[in-house]
Amino acid sequence: MQRRHDKSFLFSPTDLVTFLGCAHATVLDLSSFDEPLKKDESSESDRLLQQKGAEHEATYLAGLKAHGKSVAAIGSDLSLAERARATREPLERGVDVIYQAALLGDNWDGYADFLVKTATPSALGDYSYERTDTKLARHAQVKHLMQLGVYGSV
């Protein structure tokens, strides 16, 4: 969740999942803009899951490249607005895969692990993109489906 200059908010899929799981957690998130709250440090288990998730994502990316797909990677060191602009250019060029695509709408933002080109026509031309996120889970979880759904509305 981000507060804009006009005091409105920009929400992420994680914010939606947090709200649905515990509305009070959202109240705490909102109040932290006025009075920062101390957050717990990541546990060793959380760090291990993040590491394994990053390895899984890297393996998937390597597989796409090994299959000859053209890949545009969006740098994580940019602001959200810069990342959204950097995502738009390869979309318009029609590259096969956009890695770490920034999606920015009026009230929602998000980062898709991958946008993968498909042969379905769109405003871009004779192609469009499918959102693909790599997950360690063996089965889709509701929070993952909600994440992809929000990405589809951005």
Range of the domain at 122: 2-153
Strand pairing of 97-104 and 109-118? antiparallel
Each residue of 126-145: pLDDT tens digit?
999 998 888 877 777 777 67
Beta bridge partners of residue 3, listed in sequence order: 9
Count Cα atoms within 13 angstroms, Cβ side, for 140. Answer: 9
Distance CA 55, CA 67 (A): 19
pLDDT digits (tens, 9 = 90+) for 63-104: 999 999 999 999 999 998 899 999 999 999 999 999 999 998
Cβ contact 40:46 at 8 Å: no
Q: How many domains does the chain have?
A: 1
Residue with tokens 């994580």: 76
